[in-house]
Amino acid sequence: MVSFRTKDIEDVLRPGERWGVDMSGSYGSNKDRGMGSVFGGVRANPNVDIFGGAVYRTQGNYKDGAGTEIGNTGNEIAGGLMKLTVRPAEGHEVKLGGVFQDYQYNIGQPNRGATTTSAPAAAIAGTSVYASDVQNYTGTLNWKYARPGDNLFDWNMSLYGNHTQNDQVKTYNNRISTGGGVCTLANPGNNISGCVGDKRGYTLDTVGLDVNNTTRFGVGDWRNAVTYGVDAFQDNVKTSDSRGNSNITTPSGLRTVSGGFIQLKQNYSTWFEAVSAIRYDRYDLDSAAVSTGGDRFSPKITLGVTPVAGFTPYVSYAEGYRAPSITETLIAGGHATGGGPALFNCPDGTSGLFCFLPNAGLRPEVGKNKEAGVNLKYDGIFTANDSFRGKFNVFRNDVDGYIDLVASTPVATMFGNFSQFYQYQNIAHARIEGVEAETMYDAGTWFLGVGGHLMRGKNTQTNVGLATITPRKVTTTAGLRLLDRTLVLSAQWASFGANNDLPAGYLPSTGYELVNLYLTWNATKDVVFTASVDNLLNQYYRPYAIPGSSTDGTTQNDVLWASPGPGRVIKGGLKIHLGGA
């Protein structure tokens, strides 16, 4: 689970200030990484806050550690937000907010070199390239209520709506394709991705509600907190493609997800804590051809004891529920041939290279996570102001009904043996297990921390590993605080192991070591300089395994070319604060 929040007035105004402004700017190498932002807020009176800001970020195509420019990794992002906060009565806070973002980038990879014969052509073949413009609008209305003397209500309600529009224009076609992607009467173009100049679009509209409340009460030496709530959202996906196949491979549809939960947190004295909860989830998926849905209750329980101060072992069991996506459930129709002959006729009347089948019976994935560990928290160990924090745990997450794309048994055609049908199915039981550790010792003038994990993931039906697992990660961080702690120097060494236990057709990720350096100098209370060097050793690395083609089992060159991480990046920045009473 990931939790995040947008900036608010507390991030800008300092104690005693009525208004404040933060201005930031930075520049980086590899290549021309620029960022500028301004955020400001004012308290019109103790019960009314106004806050807003904007940010602009841009970068060119970066080079990997081997010095190769990675095409279409440049981007340009502009965004802004506004918030109005009103406190109409004691304990009540109503916040109205809006966020906008415009993200422009190119997706795809061009060919690399001349196409002379079929073998070299296949070796350097890219894919179609699209100029993409993603616009994202979010509106929120939040109401909170909490008062120190009110144990019955601690209330939070949120209403939100989001509109995401991704407009794409094809700017480049794989040169191996007939006609080079230029449409004429004699050459109608590529029916997978259209022709240069063709447009396609994806729209996602979401509305949602989240309401919860906490009631606190005591029974003898037990302190109890009951939290209960409901939430719901609806996704409406619409896709369009003037000539290509995207409206088949990314289908339109409607998904409605809702649920409710109740959680009891109990503390006895200072040494025992228990958290027990149950959640109900329901989903419904609808398209022109398919309607389906499902529901489930998922339990959770965590027990922790603190026999001595600072030492807290715990055990936890929790179940999770992932509803199938619109694409996984509703995808239907013939996959376009790219200009070649259709191999199969599909049940819905279309034809293509193969046929996608919808699956109204597709079940959600259910995760069952077991975890045991210990949390450590100690202060004043060797000196009056030092501290140590640590967390160690072992876990096993079993996923029932793992969803994957399954091909039917190949059949003979005039061009060879091919699978006629592809369908998302609940085909396996997946297991992810491992150990995690996180430690940090802070002596005030210096600090040192080590964290990481050892992990493995498998499809237990086939005993084949999962492509998304990073089997080993160890991160060491160390730093110094100088000049009365106004100057902070730190270094980080991150070591990653390669995932070699993969399904057939995958190219493994690389094992790699990243060394990063950071500097923060508080020149004055209002002026802060920052600098960093990422990937100091300029190492070449590919953090993810590369999938093979769905039709021929070979590595997809365009994915391979886009996969390396950036080489050395040097950045410097400045932040200035203005404010007053």
Predicted confidence (pLDDT) per residue in 22-60, tens digit: 999 999 999 999 999 999 999 999 999 999 999 999 999
**How many percent of the chain have pLDDT more than 90?**
66
Would you state the pLDDT for residue 334? 84
CA distance 151 to 130: 56
Torsion of CA 533, 538, 540, 542, to 10 degrees: -10
Would you state the pLDDT for residue 179? 46
Q: Compute the Cα dihedral for 6, 102, 69, 117 and give only its sign.
A: positive
Mean of all residue pLDDT scores within the chain? 90
Six token digits for residue 49: 């806050």
Per-residue confidence band for 534, with pLDDT thresholds at 50, 70 and 90 = very high
pLDDT of 342 > 80? The answer is no
* Residue-level length of the chain: 581
Pairing of strands 421-442, 355-356: parallel
Would you state the pLDDT for residue 135? 97
Q: Which of 457-466, 472-481, 511-520 has the lowest mean pLDDT?
A: 457-466
Q: Which of 91-95, 367-371, 491-495, 548-552 has the lowest mean pLDDT?
A: 548-552
* Mean pLDDT computed over 380-391: 96
Q: What is the largest CA-CA distance in the chain?
A: 86
* Mean pLDDT computed over 1-12: 80
Question: Would you tell me how many other CB atoms lie within 10 Å of the CB of residue 441?
Answer: 18
Would you state the pLDDT for residue 543? 92
State how far Cα 63 lies from the chain centre.
Answer: 24
pLDDT of 435 > 80? The answer is yes
Would you state the pLDDT for residue 347? 87
Predicted confidence (pLDDT) per residue in 216-240, tens digit: 999 988 999 999 999 999 999 999 9
Helix (H) or strand (E) holding 330: helix 326-330
pLDDT of 375 > 50? The answer is yes
Give me the residue spans of the domains in the chain: 1-99, 100-321+375-402+429-580
pLDDT of 184 > 50? The answer is yes
Query: How far lies 363's CA from each of 64, 282, 328, 332, in Å?
Result: 41, 12, 10, 17
Q: Which of 68, 41, 24, 135 is nearest to 571 (CA)?
A: 24
**How many percent of the chain have pLDDT more than 70?**
92
Question: Would you tell me how many other CB atoms lie within 10 Å of the CB of residue 309?
Answer: 11
Would you state the pLDDT for residue 177? 52
* Mean pLDDT computed over 298-304: 97
Residue 65: left (phi > 0), alpha (psi -120 to 50), or beta? alpha
* Mean pLDDT computed over 306-330: 93
Among 158-167, 333-342, 495-504, name the most confident range. 158-167
The 3-state DSSP class for residue 147 equals coil
Predicted confidence (pLDDT) per residue in 85-117, tens digit: 999 999 999 999 999 999 999 988 887 877 666
Q: Top-level CATH class of 100-321+375-402+429-580?
A: mainly beta
Pairing of strands 527-534, 48-59: unpaired
Per-residue confidence band for 551, with pLDDT thresholds at 50, 70 and 90 = very low
Per-residue confidence band for 547, with pLDDT thresholds at 50, 70 and 90 = confident
Six token digits for residue 24: 């930031």
Would you state the pLDDT for residue 187? 57
Q: Which amino acid is at 215?
A: T
Q: Which of 508, 501, 496, 497 is nearest to 545 (CA)?
A: 508
- Where do we find the tokens 């200035």? 576
Q: Which residue has the higher pLDDT, 246 or 51?
A: 51
Sequence-ordered strand ranges (E) for 364-482: 365-379, 387-407, 411-413, 416-418, 421-442, 446-459, 464-465, 472-482
SS (HEC) of 367-401:
EEEEEEEEEEEEECCCCCCCEEEEEEEEEEEEEEE
Among 150-164, 405-419, 545-559, name the most confident range. 150-164
CA distance 250 to 200: 11
The 3-state DSSP class for residue 545 equals coil
End-to-end CA distance of the chain: 39
Per-residue confidence band for 265, with pLDDT thresholds at 50, 70 and 90 = very high
What's the predicted TM-score (pTM) here? 0.87
